[in-house]
Chain A
Amino acid sequence: MIDQSLPQARSSIASVQTYRKRGTTTRVELHNGRASIVEIEEIGESYDSIEEFRSRTVSTQSRSEANISERTMAALASANQFEASVPGSLVLERLVLLSGRADHSIVHEGRANEWTDSFERLHISLMHLDARERVEVEVGGNSLDRTDRETITTIASLLARIGREEVTAGELNLSLAPVVAAALWATLTPWILSGASKGPSALTLDQSIHPVLVRDGNGLMIAPKHLYDHDGGTLWSELPNVFRPSYRTKPVSMPFHIRAHPIQSVVHSHYEAHALLQRFIWTSEGLATRLLCKNPETDSVLAIALSMDPQRWLNSTVGIDPEATWFPNLAGTYGSKTVIRIAAGQWKG
C-alpha cells in the first residue's frame, strides 16, 4: 500500500547525491509601515536517495562584524528607492527585498561540481483602498536593474489612477506587458507539461538560457529545450534539469528560463495590461484573471477580467515582441510585450 510516487515531488535523481550550500543573504521587509532587516549566514547540506531526502544545517561563524554589512546597506538603499516610487495614495502593504550570494557544491552521479551565484529580488504588494484593488509583483534575478524599477513605477502609477470606464464588449486585442506575459507562461507551462495541451497554435515555448543564471540545481549547465509548439508539448518526465531553491527542499524537475518565440504582429491593441490584479486561477471554465489595464487612446485605467480555456489562451496569442525581460516565476520565465486576441464573452471591463 505504500506508494511513494504519489507524495514525492517529481525528480530525475537516480543515485545518492550530496549537496552543500553556503549562503549569505540580506532580507529587508516592510509590512504596514514597519521594517525589519534579517542578515543570514547559513551552511546547509542535503543527501538525496530514492528512499529518503535528508538535510541539515552546518555550523558556521558569523563573518560580519556587529555593524550592518555593506550588502545590507545596499539592500536598504535599493528598498528605499522602490518605497519612494510608490505614490502616497497607495498603501505599501508589503515589500520584501532579498539580496545574497550562494556557494554550491555537489557530488552527483560520481562527479563533483562547484559554482557560485548571486541574487537580488523584490516582492511588492500595493493596495488602492478606495478601489479595493491589490497588485503583487516579483521582479529581479541576479540583480535588480533599471527595467525592474520601471516595471514597479509604471504599475504603481497606473494602480493609483484606476477607475471605471464604459467598455464595448466585442473582440478585444489586448497587449500584455512583459510581467503579465511571464506570469501567463509560468501558469500555462505546468499544464502543458502534464500533457493536456493540443494544437494548433502559433505559439512556441522553450526552455532557454540566461546570461548569468546558467546552472540548474545539480550544477548542470542549462541548455535550450523545446517545451511547446503547434505539434504539442513536452512532458514533465522529459525535462533535463532540476530546480533546487533551498538545500532543505528536494529538487524537482522544472523548465528553466521559459521563453516564447517572437511572433511578428501589426495588430492594433485596444488595451494594455500592465499587471495582475488577481493571480491566474484555475476555475471550472479554465484559467481566469483580472488585469490592470490602460486604454492608450484615452489614457484611462481600468480592470479587465478574463476567463478562457487554457488551450484558448495559447491559441489567442497573435504577437510577441523579440525583446524579453526575465522574471522569477518558477525557475525563471521571460516575458515580452505580447498581444492576445480575445473573443466577445470571454472578458469584461
Chain B
Amino acid sequence: MRASVVRALLRKAPDSSLEPGMTQSGSQMDEPLRNAAGGARMSSLFPDHLFVSMLREEGWLVDSERSVRTSSHLETGHAVTTHIDGQVVVRAVSGLEIRDHSSWIDLSRADLESRLTEPLQTLDFDIIRPLLQSHRQQFRIRIRSDSRLVSTGNMARFKDATTITVAMGRDGQETSIVTTPSALREDLLRTMPLLSRGAGTATAPASLPILWTNGSAAVLMHELIGHPAEENRALPRLPEWLEVRDDPFAPGPGHAPYDDTGLRGRMSVLSDGGRPQSLRRESFRDPPILRMTHLAVTRNGASLPLPESRIEVSLVEGGGWDSLTDEISLRVSSAEIVNGSSRKMLAPFSFKGPRVEIVSRIIGANATSVRYPGVICSRQGQRLAVGSSSVDLLVSSGVQ
C-alpha cells in the first residue's frame, strides 16, 4: 500500500493553528538545518514565517523611435507559512491586511507599504534607446521588479530584485536574455548583435565538437547538474578540473543572501554532490521549494587547445531535464560553425542526450568565467530567474 502523505495531513490538520513567532520545527534563523543523510536542508525545517511581497511588472514594445507599454501588473500579498507533520501549509491573502500585524512586524502598515514600494524600479529608456539606434527592429521588453519581507516574529528581513527580459524575434524564431538594471547596458551590447542578426541556414554537423561560449555552458550545466541536484539525484562522474556551484551571493538574477524563508543563503558545490540550499518562491501564492540561485561553472588547471573545426554556441533559447529518462535537451538559438578563420551562422538546433553520456563527453575548458544573461527557470509551476556564469566548455561531438 502506498504511504500517504495526504493522510498524515488529514489526521493532523484539525488541531493546527499558527501564532506569530511559533516555529514547529524549532529552527533558529541563520542556522541552516541539515538532514542526517546528505547534509541538505530539508524543506520541512525552515521556520514558520510571514512572507510579504510587492511586485510591479510591465511589458513594453520598443524600437529605435517609440516605446509602447502593452501591459502592467501591480501586486501586493502576504502569506503565513507553517508546517503540519513536516508538510508545508501556506495561507496566502492579497494585499497588506495582515492578521496580527503588530505581532509580526514593527512597522505600521503605511511604513511597510512605503518600504516595499521604495526599491521597485522602472525601465530606463535612456540606457535602451541609444543602443537601439542601429537596430531597425522591435524588441519586447518585460521588467519585473519585486520587494519582499520575511518575518518570523523575532526577526524581519527585506530584500528586492529586478529582472529585465529582452526578446526579439526574426524569421519565426524568438531569442531572449534575462538581465538586471545594472547589467542591462553591458548585456545588450554583448547580445544585441546576436539577437538581431537572425539565425543562419546551415545545419549543425553531428561530427563536430561544441564549444559553449558566452557563459552558455552554465545553461548546459543547469540542466545536467543543477535540476538533478534539486531533486537529489545521483551525480554523474565529472572531470576533476570542473567545479559547479550554486552561489546565492553572486550578483545578478537569483542573488539571495537570505532565502524566501529568511534563512541565510549557503553556497553549495554541486559537483561534489551538494544540493542547492535556497528555498525560493515565485509569489506569495507559492510554497517555498529548493531551487538554484546562481549557477557558476569554473575550472582548475590548464586550458585545452581548441580544435580547428568546431561549433561555437553563444545563446540558448531553452532546455529541460527529464527526471524519468535522465536525458537533457537544449534549444540552441545562436551558433556558428568555425573552421580556422572562417565562420558561418548555423540554423537553430537541438542538443540532447542522456545526462551520463553528455557529462562523459566534456573534454575541456579554455577561458575565464563569463556571466551569461540568465535564464527564467520553471519547475513545479514556479518561474524564477536563475543567474548563470561559466567558463567556455568543450564537449565532443553529439548534435542531434
Contacts and interface: CB of A to CB of B under 8 A. Distances in A.
A250 interface: yes
A323 interface: no
Contacts of B91: 39, 62, 64, 66
Contact of A68 (B16, B44, B71): B16
B380 interface: yes
Interface string B354-368: 000000000000000
A81 to B, nearest CB: 9
B234 interface: no
B323 to A, nearest CB: 7
B96 A59 contact: yes
Contact of B71 (A40, A54, A72): A54
A7 B6 contact: no
Contact of A7 (B9, B14, B73, B140): B140
Contacts of B9: 35, 37, 76
B70 A34 contact: no
Interface residues of A, number: 62
Nearest to A131: B324
Contacts, number: 171
Interface in B21-52: 43-44
A28 B6 CA distance: 9
Interface in B190-222: none
Given A37-B9, A38-B287, A61 B97 contact: yes
Interface in A33-51: 33-44, 51
A321 interface: no
Contacts of B237: none
Interface stretch (B58-66, B147-155, B157-165, B264-272): B58-66
Contacts of B90: 36-39
Sorting the interface of chain B by its residue count into under 10, 10 to 19, 20 to 34 or 35 or more gives 35 or more
Interface string B63-84: 1111011111111110000001
B17 interface: yes
B22 to A, nearest CB: 11
B63 A59 contact: no
Nearest to B7: A80
A6 B172 CA distance: 11
B6 A1 contact: no
B231 interface: yes
Interface in B73-129: 73-77, 84, 87-97, 99
A72 B2 CA distance: 22
Nearest to A62: B93
Given A29-B380, A33-B5, A94-B380, A43 B73 contact: no
Interface of B: 1-2, 4-10, 13-14, 16-19, 43-44, 61, 63-66, 68-77, 84, 87-97, 99, 136-138, 140, 231, 285-287, 323-325, 380-381
25 contacts: A1-B63, A1-B66, A2-B66, A4-B70, A7-B70, A28-B6, A31-B380, A34-B88, A36-B287, A37-B9, A40-B92, A41-B92, A42-B92, A42-B94, A52-B71, A54-B73, A61-B95, A61-B99, A68-B14, A72-B13, A84-B1, A86-B2, A94-B380, A96-B381, A132-B324
